[in-house]
Chains A and B, each alone.
Chain A
């Protein structure tokens, strides 16, 4: 079991419904292959250092998940197929993150601020 971090950029022009679909789709891919999504952070729309697909901006997401190493290939294949995803990077973390660690973090965040991000993380 390893901890992985997935950062991906979604097309900023995509509608909210389609955005949710994209995210749930990748959550499904992870959970179906024996992985465990710990949290999904919305980093918002940021301007890019260079244009990708002729677009100057991108919607950044950061996803933290645990799982066996074998399915990363499958996940990356799915990410490549999706047209709404402009870029992605999957990184293995040096230390394995437990579910309990994340829960504590989320609770602390909840106390200080309330937003949709935490709801996503709890799911």
Chain B
């Protein structure tokens, strides 16, 4: 029993350390660079935050902070209405 538990904890710590070694902390692009404004007219910037299919990318992939993600989602939706960005991309 005791050995088993020790073994389990070893695996856990090992797996965690491995995870940490791979982990690279992402910083929000818009917090880092204050000159970069979220604007629904700038489709070029917004395109970095959507997939090839036109869907919005989640925060865990892009590393954007929650405040800017909220503004980004509104901007992308406005850009879609104005046909600057697609709602969907069909092949």
Q: Which residues from chain A sit less than 8 Å from chain B, CB to CB?
A: 7, 9, 48-50, 52, 58, 60, 62, 87, 89, 91
Contact = CB atoms under 8 A, between A and B. Distances in A.
The secondary structure that dominates the A interface is strand
B83 A87 contact: yes
A52 B87 CA distance: 12
A9 B87 contact: no
Interface string B64-85: 0000000000000010111111
Given A7-B41, A62-B41, A91 B78 contact: yes
Contacts of A87: 81-83
Given A62-B41, A89-B40, A50 B81 contact: no
B35 to A, nearest CB: 16
B87 A50 contact: yes
A49 B41 contact: no
B84 A49 contact: yes
Contacts of A9: 82-83
17 contacts: A7-B82, A9-B82, A9-B83, A48-B83, A49-B80, A49-B83, A49-B84, A50-B83, A50-B87, A52-B83, A87-B81, A87-B82, A87-B83, A89-B40, A89-B82, A91-B40, A91-B78
Contacts of B78: 89, 91
Interface in B11-69: 40-41
Contacts of B41: 7, 62
A55 to B, nearest CB: 10
A85 to B, nearest CB: 12
Contacts of B81: 87, 89
Nearest to A60: B82
Contacts of A62: 41
Which 10 interchain pairs have the tightest Cβ spacing?
A48-B83, A49-B86, A49-B83, A89-B78, A49-B85, A50-B86, A89-B82, A89-B81, A87-B82, A50-B83
